Amino acid sequence: MEQQHFDGQIWRPPFEANSVLLQATVGCSHNDCKFCSLYHGTRFRVSPVAEIEHDLKIAAKYQPHARRVFLTGANPFVLSYNKLVNIALAIHDYLPEVKNIGGFSRITDIAAKSPAEWKDLHRLGYDRIAIGIESGDNATLEFMRKGYIAADIVEQCLKLQEAGIEYNFTYLNGLAGVGNGQRNALASAEVFSRLRPFAISIVSLTVFPESDLYTEVATGTFIESSERERLEELKTLIFNLMPDTPVTILANTISNPVPLVGYLPNERAKLVAEIQNILDTVSEDELTRYRSSIRSL
């Protein structure tokens, strides 16, 4: 059986389970965030055209009626406008029923392309882009070496909105460290409320040995927030998010001790009540034991 090219670690959002996965890049072009261990030991590279066409031929054989393609790699939108155009044309050639194409993107990848280029990319099917924002708090973004500030998030996501491209965020709960959760939540809620993500995925910080942050935890440079502080942070974030379009809250990955799913603004009270119930009924020890049991995201 012919095999597609998948190198290193392959990640996709849970809601991309039915999408065709197509490797466009390998690893992360930034690869400097302190907390990240997802692409540890994988050198960034761009998939050659021949590999992409080979993989599309296999996809066309086994999933000829595919409607969506998800480009793998930490941030395939780092590719140039011209390369993204050529990938889209190849996808539509081999999989003519595909309606849209997604993938992970950094804010810096969005900034590298003009509004006109994003409009062109949208016409070619690029939509529902997954952005690992992690935080909207400048101090947290700087400490974690994200490579952009909150104002950049707003500027670049407005560019996507102008192009008609939908996007979702990932928020990394606990990323600001002990004592800073409320600041992080309030700053992030303010930034997110100015934008229109269709979903916000909540991931709770879990520090693995492969990350630079692991060393900082060991030396005391960074002190992790307690599980209860993270829940208070999440409650503050949800309470203060005031989007002008509905947004889905997805706090249901393995990193979340208690899964939460809901919609804002309609289910704000329900979500806040669920978090408060966890605070009232589950001990810090229980939550910490759960965190310690996580071996991989």
CA distance 45 to 31: 12
Binned at pLDDT 50, 70 and 90, residue 263 comes out as very high
Q: Are 89 and 125 in contact (CB under 8 A)?
A: no
β pairing state of 45-46 and 25-26: antiparallel
CATH number of 1-127: 3.30.750.210
Nearest to 225 by CA among 180, 169, 158, 166: 180
The encoded tokens of residue 129 equal 């882009």
Q: What is the pLDDT of residues 134-162, one digit of tens each?
A: 999 999 999 999 999 999 999 999 999 99
- DSSP symbol at 179: T
pLDDT at 11: 86
Q: What is the pLDDT of residues 79-120, one digit of tens each?
A: 999 999 999 999 999 999 999 999 999 999 999 999 999 999
Give 138-143's long-range contacts (Cβ < 8 A, gap of 24+).
138/187, 139/176, 139/180, 139/183, 140/175, 140/176, 140/180, 140/184, 143/34
Q: What is the pLDDT of residues 7-54, one digit of tens each?
A: 888 889 888 999 999 999 999 999 999 999 999 889 999 999 999 999
